[in-house]
Amino acid sequence: MKLVLLGPPGAGKGTQAKVLSKEFGIPHISTGDILRESVKAQSPIGLKAKVYMDKGELVPDDVVIEMVAQRVAKEDCGKGFMLDGFPRTAAQAKALDGTLAGLNRPIDLVLYFKTSQQTIIQRLSGRRVCKNCGENYHIKNIPPKVAGICDKCGGELYQRVDDKEDTILNRIKVYENTVPGIISYYEGKGILRTVSGDFDVDEAHDYLSKLFVKEKLK
Ligand code: AP5
């Protein structure tokens, strides 16, 4: 199963992708996570990307396109993969198709998480992430058992720099400027399916499970 998860920040793409990736035994490839790892490691790509990420701007296409091209060519993507947060521009979508055509691994479906602005802001402002294992929480929707501490590994939870209100608003603006081009691109190919990003976690998962059966992907 080769999927693209498309949607605004806070739509729940990462949360669903983590569950589905375990369920189907295929890699979850999040460009945001890869970039944050590069920032942490202070690699040349990370140092370049941080400037854009902290402001909620997109990292230049050439950086992310190359990063994803290398990742999807790896052996563990042979059975399938789940791309989360990529592509985000029409240029990225076209480059991805070129790469996947060369690998004979075309995208089966693009899941578009259509989400209200109210949900986006509520989710992002309450998101907390484990510094140690990267597990995702929300102070109200998905709280840890002990405030500020990861249930899984006991690590400290933190708020992402780009989850501050001003940056959230800029991320939404950037998203709204770039997403129409990608939606029409995938609609034209007949592989776009819309899912409500406003569903709770279990509702979204049930909806997707039924969709995969309907699309004969399960
Ligand atoms: P990235 O990390 O991809 O951020 P994003 O797309 O803004 O997405 P988020 O991770 O914020 O949201 P999500 O939909 O995964 O929601 P989540 O499941 O975490 O990108 C960060 C930055 O990196 C970008 O701004 C850019 O600079 C750069 N970048 C990345 N990719 C790039 C690319 N391709 N090109 C250029 N630049 C790129 O959920 C959010 C919260 O809600 C959590 O607290 C969660 O617990 C909670 N939650 C989730 N689902 C539900 C639900 N159904 N009900 C209730 N609560 C829920």
Burial of 64 (0-12, 13-18, 19+ CB in 10 A): buried
Q: Whose CA is nearest to atom 27 of ligand 1?
A: 53
Q: Tell me the torsion sign for CA atoms 175, 27, 195, 198.
A: negative
By annotation, the residues acting in catalysis are 13, 88, 127, 160, 171
pTM beyond 0.75: the answer is: yes
Rounded to the nearest angstrom, the distance between the alpha carbon of 6 and the centre of ligand 1 is 10
Q: Which amino acid is at 41?
A: A
Q: What digits encode the pLDDT tens for the residues 27-62? A: 999 999 999 999 999 999 999 999 999 999 999 999
Per the CB < 8 A criterion, the answer to whether 14 and 30 are in contact is yes
Residue 211 confidence class, pLDDT cut points 50, 70, 90: very high
The whole-angstrom separation of Cα 6 and Cα 167 is: 20
Describe the strand order of the beta sheet including 136-138 as a list of residue ranges.
136-138, 127-130, 157-158
Mean per-residue pLDDT, 183-200: 96
Atom of ligand 1 nearest to the CA of 18: 18
**29 secondary structure, DSSP code:** E
- Is residue 8 reached through a cis peptide bond, with omega within 30 degrees of 0 on the bond before it? no
Q: 58 CB under 6 A from ligand 1?
A: yes
Report the distance separating Cα 193 and Cα 186, nearest Å: 9
CA 108 to ligand 1 centroid distance, Å: 22
Query: Which tens digits make up the pLDDT trace of 85-138?
Result: 999 999 999 999 999 999 999 999 999 999 999 999 999 999 999 999 999 999
Can you tell me the distance from the alpha carbon of 47 to that of 114, in angstroms, rounded to the nearest whole number?
32
Q: Of all residues in the chain, what percent carry a pLDDT higher than 90?
A: 98
In the predicted structure, residue 216 carries a pLDDT above the cut 90: no
Q: Give the per-residue SS3 of 114-180.
A: ECCHHHHHHHHHHEEEECCCCCEEECCCECCCCCCECCCCCCEEECCHHHCHHHHHHHHHHHHHHHH
Q: Tell me the CATH architecture of domain 2-116+166-214.
A: 3-Layer(aba) Sandwich (3.40)
* Domain spans, the chain: 2-116+166-214
From the CA of 12, how far away is ligand 1's center (Å)? 7
